[in-house]
Structure 1
């Protein structure tokens, strides 16, 4: 057992094995609540009689919530500590997942808002826990929880409808995942007992004038645009190219699942490099190649482009790792994570909408895909700036 050290120099005595399990349980919840609703949105729409505007708002709430609520993550850490902050996040998530199946569309929207608020806070605070307790295994632990997060997203998308069909109710399909959130909260509870938690009472560094912090923030935004476009529009691109809905859904599933082992590996590679610029450039080129393939040969190379996009999506856990690698300590990690994710998700939120509007305006995927190729090329120099071995400042007491 290797004790971790707090930002004030006191030793930790938590066993890393159970703590790692708790981290992974929290990570498993960070997309379940989003993809599970997407899997049943048509059924929920028909059953509740919600308007088309309300249904559309449910698809945009997660990213907007990640941006707005994520910005409060550092303030929460200062008040209660990172560990109790994650407990608050899991409690909000469990409550939200329960509330959204209790009644008609107003409760569905309220529950979704609460659940996404919990996810947003955990998104921001989890990298600080990794920095604090696993300083010598940042890459491996970030890779593990990123892969579990991706697996949870796939599980929510794939299993929610069968559960609902078996139970004869969409409420059962969605409500099942509240149990997973409660399990994560129970697993996390032992780490809320020590009153001296990471970030409590500390003021994180001011990052708004840091070029490095902005480079990390911007690359989080650009990769987020690409990722949400893939999740939102990849099946439609394939349908428009002549594939069936079932084949198109399978191609998206392949893209997600291919990324899971990549998510495990690339953060560890990132931590072994002095500069992560070459790694970020390579992954950006892969994403660009995937979009270029979809533009020029969506039918002939369909499976290849899905795989390439899945591998290129490994840039997400690398950027999560940068929150730790570019920060001096765990409080600075929380501050950089809050800035990167709040601003990054806000910028990324318009990506899928803009791509859809361009496709409708031009009647073709050519211009949207060409712009995405260009975005991935622009991402390369940003990655070199974010990958430089520079630390943002330590927090002030």
Structure 2
């Protein structure tokens, strides 16, 4: 567990050689943005064709829950894996490996039955998990003078990629005649990102990053109450996000919404986070407390989830808008990690703990949602569980937003 807590710190303190090798430039900036676009479609593309996959494969809702749980498990494991990979093959090589794993997994998961789908998804999301940790480090190390710009572009690309995955997959399914080629098509985009990344680093080979001293570790954050509050806030908001990305289209289709519209609505949920994420965090960061911002966004998500539970077909666009605004609290979850720590080293340690353990908590959400649907045959009980998750996000988010420090 201590390896997870120290993970981001392990990478951000690596030797200056990485900074020289991956010096900022236009091509590297394009590579970072293109890589970021690929960090969500592998997840969001599944929801709108999940019923077809289950029918073709003869799989249960529990299997579907396991499929939507894999990303969270991989993201949790990345905290300890990413530093190990970066130390041995360098930061640039590690990002290339992440994109190669993503591309291979996207192809592998459409080749056979339920176990192969799970295995391919595991490979693809393992690549995403590595990139989730590594690319922000590239932004910090290679664009020191343009961190704000590159962070905004990176966040926007993440949101855009999530929206593309959910909105474009249904038309691809219709055009190509099956969910397999529709899902496999996303490998072309990740393959392009890999080619551009390799071109950006060409002629500047990245040496292995040595395992040097990581500085003073300080008191373990596992014994820090504020660190656990931030971690639980991050975990609950991530849990809601992965339940929505994995299951919202299926719930809406069961309520009479067409497959294409369900995919577009999930895309709407994803894209709404872009303007909110670009506007709200700078405003919230100027204030001593971020609790009211977190409460407001969380209340919107609670209202949207309640609407889907009570009357999903009555106003699906409104419910999607409310949920999308609520899920944009992700940007404030990242902001509080930085604001609740006084030094960059503590920020890295807190980020490692919050993302590592937080995603582990989030991984249980989609699986439990599918299991409850299997056991009850309906959506009311699973959504009651989701409301509990949102309530937890509200409580720990308000506490995390108070002006205190590690």
**Normalising by the residue count of structure 2, what TM-score does the alignment of the two structures yield?**
0.76
Check conservation: 2:89, 2:208, Cα contact below 8 A. Answer: no
Structure 1 position 283 matched with structure 2 position 294: no
Unaligned runs of 5+ in 1: 393-397
| 8 A contact 2:170–2:259 mirrored in 1 | no
Q: Distance in 2 between matches of 1:238 and 1:176?
A: 24
Cα deviation for residue 33 of structure 1 reads: 2.0
Q: For the structure 1 residues 362 and 95, does the alpha-carbon distance in structure 2 shift closer, same or farther, using more than 3 Å as the test?
A: closer
Deviations 1:341-390 (Å, cap 9, x if unpaired)?
A: 22112211222343455566667655554554454344334224433566
Corresponding residue for residue 73 of structure 2: 64
Number of positions where the alignment pairs a residue of Structure 1 with one of Structure 2: 386
Residues 54 and 352 (structure 1 numbering): CA distance in 2 closer, same or farther, change over 3 Å? closer
RMSD: 3.9
- Give the one of 215, 221, 226 matched to 2:235: 221
SS of 2:222 mapped into structure 1: coil
Gaps of 5+ in 2: 1-11
Distance in 2 (CA, whole Å) between partners of 1:266 and 1:156 is: 25
Q: Tell me the distance in 1 between the aligned counterparts of 2:211 and 2:290.
A: 31
Report the 3-state secondary structure (helix = DSSP H, G, I; strand = E; otherwise coil) of the residue aligned with 1:187.
helix
Q: Which residue in 1 is equivalent to 2:321?
A: 307
Cα displacement (A) at 1:223: 0.5
**Closer, same or farther: CA 42–356 of 1 in aligned 2, 3 Å:** closer
Are the structure 2 counterparts of residues 317 and 223 from structure 1 closer, same or farther at C-alpha, using a change threshold of 3 Å?
same
Is 1:203 the counterpart of 2:220? The answer is no
Task: Determine the structure 1 residue equivalent to 2:7.
Answer: none
Helix, strand or coil for the counterpart of 2:214? Answer: coil
Asked whether the equivalents of residues 143 and 264 of structure 1 are also in contact (C-alpha less than 8 Å), the reply is yes
Aligned in 2, Cα 1:57/1:354: closer, same or farther, shift over 3 Å?
closer
TM-score by length of 1: 0.78
Q: Alpha carbons of 1:348 and 1:156: their partners in 2 closer, same or farther (altered >3 Å)?
A: same
Query: Is the contact between residue 124 and residue 337 of structure 1 (CA under 8 Å) also seen in structure 2?
Result: no
1:1-397 → structure 2 map (5 Å cutoff): 14-41=23-50, 52=60, 57-101=66-110, 107-134=116-143, 141-163=150-172, 165-167=174-176, 171-189=180-198, 190-191=200-201, 193-195=205-207, 201-203=212-214, 205=217, 206-238=220-252, 248-295=262-309, 298=312, 301-326=315-340, 335-358=349-372, 368-369=382-383, 372-388=386-402
Other structure's SS at 1:306 match: helix
The structural deviation recorded for 1:170 is 5.1
- What's the secondary structure of 1:30's corresponding residue? coil
